[in-house]
């Protein structure tokens, strides 16, 4: 999934495009490029397309040689889906005449047949990408419409798939045409012109009043203003949303990396996600629920569907939904769920968890579940995202923009939101009294201060543990119950940011095979917080210690016994076991981040990954 940006106005376009692309780099960094309009001494406008493999910084040095006169252009940062990272496959893609250029985020599913058709009509392709067909389709349509937005609309009629695209045309200087279907597009007017981007963060410096373009809508950006039309070309007045994020949230706020900044934002995320969720009556207030209590009371099966870290939030939710509401709950990898024939009835609730709200497998699983008659509830961090739009109800995790590829604050926001959902189901099913809900809600709120305490008091202990792991070839994470659920997340975090191989196991499973991996010095990271199964975890740890493992234990403050078997102990405040996933996740996030820093990895943009995965 890529990032696109566009600007037309009175300022130097290349500077604005570069600044926007840097903010969008979390979406993909295989290549970057711009198309800038240039007017020659004869008054003729031409398009200069400049592209580079790799990060935006590389493109920036390329643009140092380009003069500043252009005031209109489009830009792109890529995460390769069709065609390997190369200059030829980098966006923008131009048409045969070179007078039209397009940048695109999404996937053109029928690009092969369109390509054959266009080739048969004499078009010459220079890349392996799906996107290039758009440039040639717009070129053909423009020959008939002589108006860029109309040409883009016509081209989109031929396309099957997802697109957030922007196009420029040398014959229509200063105009940018924009279209959207299933990929995010935001548009805004600033003091010096009109802006478009895949994400608010790329234009927040210029304006805080944006239009989130809807599927099937089009826009014409010009220096003097913006007009919007629907799929038939009729004018429309989309809603303007005011964004109250501060720039700092967009920048690192003084932290060495976004991952650490976002880990340290988690106390706020807990508080913000709980704001206004408990009515004075003790009733939980989830107004975006989209389902009546009567409908909820009929629910007899829950599936949590998600990918990666969001899937691990589901593992936590399973314990709570079954524990508090006594409803059977399955946690499913969306990529599997969509292709197996799960048992779904109208009294099935499918909870789709997705930070980005645009993960392809999760979206497809939602659509499949809806067709089969399930009620769908979304938990996402992105307002107006496809997951939100395609669910009956939604809870927004108030994590704000998460920039580091490794999800941290959104994970905590997801667990808090799923905990609220489990409490609500327990309340509706009459398993939890209002008094119990009030008490649980209060304790859930207390986790914000407990996270802050861990951030303030355990950084040194985590650092020592990281030093103990950083040179190991591999590591194991173990726990039981809630501890098992977050061990999977601990292992994923370490893998994805430090490239150190790590696996997680329910501690009781170790002796059925994985313990064979342990030799002297092998790091075992164990979640041994006080819980009904604490003694069981400790005895499993003793089996590992007996084989010479280096034990790093996450323990409850005041637990001195654990020091007898652990080489390193990271303490977290005493908390109800149901909420331990929230607090115990934080040291695991910090551990992964510190090991990655020690191993010289790019903490915020790990290799081979992207922030949201909009392809299968």
User: 206 or 307: whose CB is closer to ligand AGP?
Assistant: 307
- Pattern 480-509, ligand AGP, x by CB under 6 A: ----------------x-------------
Beta strands in 243-383 (DSSP E): 301-306, 329-333, 348-354, 375-380
CB 199 to ligand AGP: min, Å: 13
In the bound state with ligand AGP, the residue whose beta carbon lies nearer, of 8 and 397, is 397
Task: Specify the stretch interacting with ligand AGP by CB under 6 A; choose among 57-65, 66-74, 305-313, 591-599.
Answer: 305-313
- Indicate the Cα dihedral angle 271, 425, 383, 101, nearest 10°: 140
- Cα torsion at 276, 279, 280, 282 (round to 10°)? -130
Cβ closest to ligand AGP, residue 310 vs residue 427: 310
CB of 4 to ligand AGP, least distance (A): 19
Task: Map the footprint of ligand AGP across residues 381-440, applying CB under 6 A.
Answer: 405-407
Q: Select the residue interacting with ligand AGP from 31, 81, 348, 355 (CB under 6 A).
A: 355
Sheet holding 31-39, edge to edge: 45-53, 31-39, 72-78, 3-9, 193-197, 186-190, 209-212, 241-242
Name 372's Cβ contacts closer than 8 Å, sequence gap at least 6: 342, 344, 348
Residue 12 or 310 with smaller CB distance to ligand AGP: 310
Please tell me whether residue 257 adopts helix, strand or coil conformation: coil
3-state SS class at 261 = helix
Candidates 30-38, 296-304, 349-357, 527-535: pick the segment binding ligand AGP (CB under 6 A).
349-357
**Closest approach of Cβ 581 to ligand AGP, in Å?**
15
Q: Which of 266, 362, 498, 540 touches ligand AGP (CB under 6 A)?
A: 362
CB of 405 to ligand AGP, least distance (A): 5
Closer Cβ to ligand AGP, 578 or 592, answer by number: 592
**Considering beta carbons, is residue 115 or 493 the nearer one to ligand AGP?**
493
Q: How far is the CB of 613 from ligand AGP (least distance, A)?
A: 5
Could you count the other beta carbons within 10 Å of the beta carbon of residue 13?
25
Which residue number, 207 or 309, has a Cβ lying nearer to ligand AGP? 309
Contact between 359 and ligand AGP by CB under 6 A: the answer reads: yes
| Chain Cα centroid distance, residue 134 | 26
Q: Which is nearer to ligand AGP, 148 or 406 (CB)?
A: 406
* Residue of 129, 198, 266, 309 that binds ligand AGP (CB under 6 A): 309
Q: Which is nearer to ligand AGP, 154 or 312 (CB)?
A: 312
Q: How far is the CB of 486 from ligand AGP (least distance, A)?
A: 13
Q: Which of 14, 398, 493, 611 is catalytic?
A: 611
Out of 36, 50, 307, 504, point to the residue binding ligand AGP (CB under 6 A): 307
Contact by Cβ (8 Å): 114, 159: yes
CA 445 – CA 467 distance, rounded (Å): 33
Does residue 338 sit in helix, strand or coil?
A: coil
At 218, list the tokens: 């089009």
- Which is closer to ligand AGP, CB of 77 or CB of 407? 407
Contact range with ligand AGP by CB under 6 A, out of 22-30, 161-169, 308-316, 549-557: 308-316
Pair 418, 317: CB distance under 8 Å: yes
Annotate each residue in 594-613 with x if it binds ligand AGP (CB under 6 A) or - if it does not, as one string: ------------------xx
CB 402 within 8 A of CB 264: no
In a 10 Å sphere around its CB, with 0-12 CB exposed, 13-18 middle and 19+ buried, how is residue 543 labelled?
A: middle
- Out of 9, 308, 426, 479, point to the residue binding ligand AGP (CB under 6 A): 308
Peptide bond into 92 cis (omega under 30): yes
Tell me the CA distances in angstroms from 377 to 353, 416, 584, one per residue in order: 9, 15, 26
Compare residues 179 and 404 and give the one whose CB is closer to ligand AGP: 404
Residues 364-383 that bind ligand AGP (CB under 6 A): none
Cβ nearer to ligand AGP, comparing 351 with 406: 406
392 φ/ψ sector (left φ>0, alpha ψ -120 to 50, else beta): alpha
Query: Locate tokens 């988690």: which residue?
Result: 266
Give catalytic status of residue 550 as yes or no.
no
* Number of residues engaging ligand AGP in binding (CB under 6 A): 15
Contact 262, 411 (CB under 8 A): no
Q: How far is the CB of 312 from ligand AGP (least distance, A)?
A: 8
Q: Which stretch binds ligand AGP (CB under 6 A): 85-93, 307-315, 318-326, 475-483?
A: 307-315
> Could you tell me the end-to-end alpha-carbon distance of the chain, in angstroms, rounded to an integer?
11
Q: Is the dihedral of CA 456, 462, 464, 466 positive or negative?
A: negative
Tell me which stretch binds ligand AGP (CB under 6 A): 272-280, 352-360, 449-457, 518-526: 352-360
CA distances from 229 to 178, 219, 220 (A): 10, 6, 8
Give the three-state DSSP class for 10.
Answer: coil
CB of 386 to ligand AGP, least distance (A): 11
Q: In whole angstroms, how close is the CB of 309 to ligand AGP at the nearest point?
A: 3
Which of 354, 498, 528, 531 binds ligand AGP (CB under 6 A)? It is 354
Tell which one of 356, 427, 498, 605 touches ligand AGP (CB under 6 A). 356
Stretch that binds ligand AGP, among 115-123, 301-309, 515-523, 526-534 (CB under 6 A): 301-309
DSSP SS3 for 116 = helix
Q: CB–CB of 203/190 below 8 Å?
A: yes
Is 261 one of the catalytic residues?
no
Nearest C-alpha neighbor of 173 from the set 70, 76, 51, 49: 70
Task: Please report how close the Cβ of residue 353 comes to ligand AGP at its closest, in angstroms.
Answer: 7
Neighbours of 530 (CB within 10 A): 16
H or E segment and range at residue 551: strand 550-556
Closest by CA to 469, choosing from 428, 523, 413, is: 523
* Contact between residue 476 and residue 505 where contact means Cβ atoms under 8 Å apart: yes
Shortest Cβ 354–ligand AGP spacing (Å): 3
The catalytic position among 2, 72, 156, 307 is 2
Q: Looking at beta carbons, which residue is closest to ligand AGP?
A: 308
Using the rule CB under 6 A, give the single segment among 130-138, 171-179, 350-358, 424-432 that binds ligand AGP.
350-358
Q: How far is the CB of 339 from ligand AGP (least distance, A)?
A: 17
In the 3-class helix/strand/coil scheme, how is 177-243 assigned residue by residue? EEEEEECCCEEEEECCEEEEECCHHHCCCCCCEEEECCCCCEEEEECCEEEEECCCCCEECCCCEEC
Question: Which stretches of the chain bind ligand AGP, using CB under 6 A?
Answer: 307-310, 354-356, 359, 362, 405-407, 496, 612-613
Catalytic residues: 2, 611
């Amino acid at each position: 999934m890529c990032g696109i940006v566009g600007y037309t106005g009175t300022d130097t376009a290349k500077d604005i495009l570069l600044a926007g692309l840097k903010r969008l780099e979390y979406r993909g960094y295989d290549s970057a490029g711009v198309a800038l309009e240039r007017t020659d001494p004869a008054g003729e406008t031409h398009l200069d397309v400049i592209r580079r493999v790799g990060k935006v910084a590389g493109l920036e040095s390329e643009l140092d040689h380009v003069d500043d006169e252009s005031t209109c252009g489009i830009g792109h940062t890529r995460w390769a889906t069709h065609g390997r990272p190369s200059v030829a496959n980098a966006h923008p893609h131009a048409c045969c005449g070179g007078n039209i250029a397009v940048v695109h985020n999404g996937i053109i599913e029928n690009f092969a047949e369109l390509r054959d058709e266009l080739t048969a009509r004499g078009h010459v392709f220079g890349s392996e990408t799906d996107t290039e067909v758009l440039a040639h389709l717009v070129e053909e349509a423009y020959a008939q419409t002589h108006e860029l937005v109309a040409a883009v609309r016509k081209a989109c009629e031929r396309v099957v798939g997802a697109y957030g695209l922007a196009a420029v045309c040398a014959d229509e200087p200063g105009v940018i045409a924009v279209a959207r279907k299933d990929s995010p597009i935001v548009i805004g007017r600033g003091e010096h012109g009109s802006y478009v981007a895949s994400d608010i963060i790329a234009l927040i410096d210029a304006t805080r009043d944006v239009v989130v373009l809807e599927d099937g809508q089009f826009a014409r950006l010009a220096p003097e203003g913006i007009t919007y039309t629907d799929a038939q070309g009729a004018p429309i007045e989309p809603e303007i949303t005011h964004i109250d994020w501060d720039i700092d949230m967009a920048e690192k706020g003084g932290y060495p990396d976004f991952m650490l900044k976002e880990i340290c934002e988690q106390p706020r995320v807990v508080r913000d996600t709980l704001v206004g969720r408990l009515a004075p009556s003790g009733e939980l207030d989830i107004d975006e629920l989209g389902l009546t209590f009567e409908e909820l009371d009929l629910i007899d099966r829950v599936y949590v569907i998600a990918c990666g870290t969001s899937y691990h939030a589901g593992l936590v939710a399973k314990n709570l939904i079954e524990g508090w509401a006594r409803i059977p709950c399955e946690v499913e990898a969306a990529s599997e769920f969509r292709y197996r024939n799960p048992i779904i009835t109208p009294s099935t609730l499918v909870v789709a968890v997705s930070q980005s709200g645009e993960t392809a497998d999760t979206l497809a699983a939602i659509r499949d579940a809806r067709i089969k008659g399930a009620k769908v509830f979304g938990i996402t961090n992105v307002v107006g995202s496809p997951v939100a739009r395609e669910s009956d109800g939604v809870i927004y995790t108030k994590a704000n923009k998460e920039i580091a590829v490794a999800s941290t604050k959104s994970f905590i926001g997801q667990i808090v939101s799923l905990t609220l959902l489990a409490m609500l189901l327990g309340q509706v099913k009459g398993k939890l009294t209002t008094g119990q809900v009030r008490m649980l809600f209060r304790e859930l709120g207390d986790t914000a201060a407990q996270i802050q305490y861990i951030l303030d008091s355990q950084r040194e202990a985590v650092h020592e543990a990281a030093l103990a792991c950083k040179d190991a070839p591999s590591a194991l994470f173990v726990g039981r119950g809630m501890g098992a659920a977050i061990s999977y997340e601990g292992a994923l975090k370490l893998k994805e940011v430090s490239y150190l191989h790590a696996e997680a196991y329910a501690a009781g499973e170790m002796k059925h095979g994985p313990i064979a991996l342990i030799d002297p010095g092998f790091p075992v990271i164990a979640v041994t917080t006080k819980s009904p199964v604490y003694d069981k975890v400790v005895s499993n740890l003793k089996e590992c210690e007996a084989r010479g493992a280096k034990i790093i234990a996450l323990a409850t403050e005041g637990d001195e016994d654990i020091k007898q078997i652990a080489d390193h102990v990271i303490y977290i405040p005493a908390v109800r076991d149901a909420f331990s996933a929230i607090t115990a996740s934080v040291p695991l996030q910090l551990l992964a981040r510190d090991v990655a820093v020690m191993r010289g990895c790019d903490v915020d943009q790990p290799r081979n990954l992207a922030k949201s995965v909009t392809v299968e």
